[in-house]
């Protein structure tokens, strides 16, 4: 009898152990680890036709900024009018508009791996505007090429090119669809639509009308699009458009808006041409204003030109173009809106993008 009880006890303990192991495994499933930030790559677009775009580096361990980081590392210039950069995997992809190239760098040391040509048969730049990652590829909308180009991240070759109705400013992705902002341009006239493409084939499945001269786009995890509609300056007034995943314009907020960033289910937005130089925060669900100005300590920014948020701690980085002719600045705020530190982008004009080295 004792043996039976002993065996039953062992079975019971084993059963509890299995249940506890299963429960802990479900509740404590490992989450992707975000490594601490060790430094900042700062992209400065430079001035037209001067071939003076820069990629600088701010080292957290020393508190120093190297404005000529790219040139020193690679013994060459970055190019003319670097619009945008992104870290994807172990590489940095930089769209250099006037030069008609996308430069691919090692994200660890900044060394150039390859310059990918974005020029037409005549040698003119197609105008690569953004480098946007999706499903192991980098998608590049072009303003003069009127196309969405696809870079394979393994071969670093352009493997697909999707023709568009007009100049493309930006692209975002949801449910295997590419939402391409068709801005048009001052030469051929401004567009007012978003082309919805099958991201794999480039087939257009829908056209969304948002307003004259749409700008950069943000998208949330429910497929809602947020697009600053620039308008036609004095002729058509600007506003911020919210478009749902079905392509319906569900909300308009009047005012001049520019670059945006998501953090903690809130939308941080820089203003466009209305003279406001702070950072506003909106509820993306209701589009109600949460904070009229995120900056709480009186820090003054002359021309806010870019915004990035560190997902690890909520630090907000705002770049300042100053006057588009001299070195800019980068301001780092904690998540409460107080300045942590700032630095000058020595030699770098028009800082527009901050990337986090981890």
**Residue 198 neighbours by CB distance under 10 Å:** 13
Is 73 in a helix, a strand, or coil?
helix
| Of the candidate ranges 17-31, 32-46, 52-66, the one whose mean pLDDT is the lowest | 17-31
Q: Give the pLDDT confidence of 252-310 residue by residue, as tens digits.
A: 999 999 999 999 999 999 987 767 899 999 999 999 999 999 999 999 999 999 999 99
Whether residue 106 contacts residue 91, with contact meaning beta carbons closer than 8 Å, is answered with: yes
The pLDDT, as a whole number, for residue 274 is 67
| Mean pLDDT score across all residues of the chain | 91
Q: In what order do the strands lie in the sheet with 177-185?
A: 168-174, 177-185, 189-198, 204-209
Predicted TM-score (pTM) of this structure = 0.90
**Residue 244 neighbours by CB distance under 10 Å:** 13
Q: Which domains can be identified in the chain, with CATH numbers? A: 81-163 (2.40.10.480)
**Closest CA relative to residue 280, chosen from 316, 252, 249, 310:** 316
Whether residue 118 contacts residue 125, with contact meaning beta carbons closer than 8 Å, is answered with: yes
The pLDDT, as a whole number, for residue 31 is 55
Whether residue 234 contacts residue 248, with contact meaning beta carbons closer than 8 Å, is answered with: no
Q: How far apart are CA 217 and CA 227, in angstroms?
A: 5
Q: Give the pLDDT confidence of 224-235 residue by residue, as tens digits.
A: 999 999 988 777
Predicted confidence band of residue 18 (pLDDT cuts 50, 70, 90): very low
Q: Give the pLDDT confidence of 333-348 residue by residue, as tens digits.
A: 999 999 999 999 999 9
Helix (H), strand (E) at residue 207 = strand 204-209
**Closest CA relative to residue 131, chosen from 89, 166, 87, 76:** 87
What is the token pair recorded at 6? 């002993």
Predicted confidence band of residue 14 (pLDDT cuts 50, 70, 90): very low
Mean pLDDT of 143-171: 98
Question: Is it the case that residue 15 has pLDDT exceeding 60?
Answer: no
Q: How far apart are CA 20 and CA 22, in angstroms?
A: 5
Mean pLDDT of 128-156: 98
Q: In what order do the strands lie in the sheet with 54-59?
A: 64-66, 54-59, 39-44, 351-357
């Amino acid at each position: 009898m004792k043996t039976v009880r002993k065996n039953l006890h062992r079975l019971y303990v084993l059963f509890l152990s299995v249940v506890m192991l299963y429960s802990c495994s479900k509740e404590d499933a490992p989450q992707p680890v975000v490594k601490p930030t060790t430094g900042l790559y700062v992209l400065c677009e430079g001035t037209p036709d001067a071939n003076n775009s820069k990629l600088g580096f701010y080292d957290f361990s020393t508190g120093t900024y190297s404005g000529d980081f790219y040139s020193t590392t690679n013994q060459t210039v970055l190019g003319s009018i670097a619009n945008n950069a992104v870290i994807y995997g172990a590489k940095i992809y930089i769209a250099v508009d006037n030069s008609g190239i996308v430069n691919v760098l090692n994200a660890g040391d900044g060394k150039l791996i390859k310059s990918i040509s974005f020029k037409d048969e005549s040698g003119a730049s197609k105008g690569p505007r953004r480098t946007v990652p999706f499903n192991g590829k980098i998608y590049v909308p072009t303003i003069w090429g009127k196309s969405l180009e696809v870079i394979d991240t393994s071969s670093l070759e352009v493997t697909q090119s999707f023709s568009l109705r007009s100049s493309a400013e930006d692209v975002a992705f949801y449910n295997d669809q590419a939402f391409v902002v068709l801005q048009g341009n001052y030469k051929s006239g401004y567009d007012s639509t978003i082309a919805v493409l099958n991201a794999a084939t480039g087939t257009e499945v829908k056209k969304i009308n948002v307003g004259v001269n749409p700008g950069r786009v943000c998208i949330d995890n429910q497929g809602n699009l947020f697009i600053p509609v620039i308008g036609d300056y004095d002729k058509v007034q600007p506003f911020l458009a919210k478009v749902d995943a079905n392509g319906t314009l569900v909300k308009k907020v009047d005012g001049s808006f520019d670059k945006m960033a998501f953090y903690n289910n809130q939308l941080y937005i820089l203003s466009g041409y209305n003279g406001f130089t702070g950072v506003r925060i909106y509820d993306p669900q209701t589009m109600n204003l949460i904070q009229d100005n995120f900056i709480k300590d009186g820090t003054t920014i002359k021309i806010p030109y870019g915004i990035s948020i560190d997902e690890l701690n909520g630090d907000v980085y705002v770049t300042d173009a100053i006057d588009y002719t001299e070195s800019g600045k980068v301001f780092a705020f904690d998540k409460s809106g107080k300045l942590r530190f700032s630095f000058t982008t020595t030699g770098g004009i028009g800082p527009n993008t901050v990337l986090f080295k981890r």
